Every structure is written in C-alpha cells, then in structure tokens.
Amino acid sequence: MSILIVICVFFLIIGFINKFGKLEKKEKTYSKNVKNQYSLYYPKESQIISVNYAGDSKLLLRYQMDGENKLILIDLLNEKIITQINFNKSEEWKIE
C-alpha cells in the first residue's frame, strides 16, 4: 500500500512540474509579442480621463468627448480596438 502512495505522489509531482512549465512558457510568449512603446492617436476634441492595464495585454482607456464619458478596450497584441462603450443618461440602467 505504501508503494502505491509513493508512486502516486511521484506522478502528482511530475504533473505539477509539467503544468507550471507550460504556464511559464505561455507567459513568455505574451511578453515577446508586446512592444515596449506604442503611439495612440485620439480625436483633438476628446479628453483622456484614465488609462488602465486590464491584463492579458489589454488596455482600458476612459475618455470624455462632447460631454459624454466613453470607454475603449484595446488589444495590444493585435493592435486593435476590441470594444467601445458609450455612457448615455437614462431613467434606468440598461444595456443596448
């Protein structure tokens, strides 16, 4: 019985090593694809309020334009805008 426990613990340790080795390689792949510097162009009539790194090479940009707050989620790996969110005043909370 003790031999089975030792064998199972051995395979469990091997499994953890393989799992964490794959995670480390994946993180290195992301860091290689992200540039050290980006240039972001925005309309002159807008005002940037905040910029946050959302993880997974994504940037969340909050800005104001024409008196309305807006959000943009940017993918740095593909250098594309993923989504834009506009905030409009209403009588109740809803999403369209």
Tally of CB atoms within 10 A around 18: 9
Contacts of 53 (CB under 8 A, 6+ apart): 59, 60
pLDDT category at 73 given cuts 50, 70, 90 is very high
Eight-state DSSP code of residue 58: E
Which residue bears the tokens 């051995």? 10
Q: What is the pTM of this model?
A: 0.59
Task: State the Cα–Cα distance between residues 72 and 50, nearest whole angstrom.
Answer: 11
- Tell me: do 20 and 67 sit in the same domain: no
pLDDT of residue 60: 93
- Tell me: do 41 and 25 sit in the same domain: no
Instruction: Give the up-direction half-sphere exposure of residue 60: CA atoms within 13 A in the CB hemisphere.
Output: 7
Number of domains within the chain: 2
- Tell me: do 44 and 86 sit in the same domain: yes
- Tell me: do 90 and 57 sit in the same domain: yes
pLDDT category at 6 given cuts 50, 70, 90 is confident
> Domain range for residue 9?
1-33
Give the containing element (helix H, strand E) for 42: none
